Amino acid sequence: MKLMGRSIVTLLPFVPRFFVRWISKRYVAGENLNDAVLVMKKLQSENTCFTVDVLGEEIRNMAEASYFLKEYNLLLDAIVENKLDANISIKPTALGLLIDREGACSNLMKLLKKASENDIFVRLDMEDNRVTQSTIDLVYEMHQKGINNVGTVLQARLFRTSDDIEKVCSITHKNSDLRICKGIYLEPEEIAHTNYLDIVDATILAVDQLLDNGAYTAIASHDDPIINHSLKSLRSRGMGPNLDDPRGNAGLKIKGKGHGYEFQFLLGVRGDERRKLAQAGHLTRVYIPYGSRWYEYSMRRLRENPEIAIHVAKAFLLPWTNRR
């Protein structure tokens, strides 16, 4: 199966657009907001919640940021109107972070305030190493302004992540809310782990570190070693389904959140495992991307992370084993 995944990545430049579109239907909710709402309504019967991302990043000028600002406003309205258990994920470069930091900060504040009025959490997605620190700094700035319904993502493959966990938790205290993932971006070996086992080990250590620091810990992984370790780690700390968070350094439970942790999955990936965790009582969240830039998103996901291609191969060859 791994050979099939690598083969798909190798052949990407020659793959017809219609075939990429067929693949993307599993991992992208659709091209517009209505598509995303329909997918969430269908999946909400599976006892899961959502984080929604409008596809697109690294705009060329600030005029393009107005599209994302408008679309996220419409998305927030749709979440409220349809009574969806969902928060939103935003790529800071889509709001102009690499072009005009002040403008990006202003755009973000507008969305955060509207989201806060409706008890909706906002996750700043983490992009490549060019914006790691500036994304974290945005979280600091918002918290310093008293806007606490925002957190970000840390990528375990980066060597700096352990230090980042300590610093973020020391600054945002009981409002610390972090998603930990292996990391989609293939960073240089000078700043990141590049071996699979090393990345898995780093992710496991990061999960434990976040839990010990009292952070709300969003475990975003499809890997059995990480999921299994996380379950054991939670049990050892007296955390789990229907249990109040016993950590003295943890914040209060807030609307739409679990008891100090949750498990997150990409749309279309390891649905059976997600349903298994949800059935056991764990809060699970599905990452719902949508938008006209589905092709760029799909190609980047496949190109930069061959593991996604493995899931594609499995869905193609053995569809009955990997329900959405």
Give the DSSP letter string of 284-297.
EEEEEEESTTHHHH
Catalytic center residues: 125, 179
| Nearest to 277, CA basis, from 319, 320, 224, 321 | 224
Residues comprising the chain, all counted: 324
Q: pLDDT tens for residues 134-191?
A: 999 999 999 999 999 999 999 999 999 999 999 999 999 999 999 999 998 889 999 9
The whole-number pLDDT of residue 28 equals 87
The whole-number pLDDT of residue 25 equals 72
DSSP 8-state secondary structure symbol assigned to residue 172: H
The whole-number pLDDT of residue 313 equals 56
Q: pLDDT tens for residues 47-73?
A: 999 999 999 877 889 999 999 999 999
The identity of residue 11, as a single letter, is: L
Cα separation values, 298 from 9, 56, 72, 273, 309, Å: 11, 11, 21, 22, 10
Give the CATH fold of the 29-290 domain: TIM Barrel (3.20.20)
pTM over 0.75: yes
The whole-number pLDDT of residue 1 equals 46
Whole-number Å distance between alpha carbons of 151 and 124: 6
DSSP 8-state secondary structure symbol assigned to residue 50: E
Q: pLDDT tens for residues 175-222?
A: 999 999 999 888 999 999 999 999 999 999 999 999 999 999 999 999
Whole-number Å distance between alpha carbons of 141 and 139: 5
The whole-number pLDDT of residue 253 equals 87
Whole-number Å distance between alpha carbons of 211 and 219: 11
Residue intervals of the chain classified under CATH 3.20.20.220 are 29-290
Collapsing DSSP to helix, strand or coil, 154 comes out as strand
Cα separation values, 292 from 33, 129, 169, 317, Å: 10, 26, 36, 27
Collapsing DSSP to helix, strand or coil, 180 comes out as strand
DSSP 8-state secondary structure symbol assigned to residue 46: G
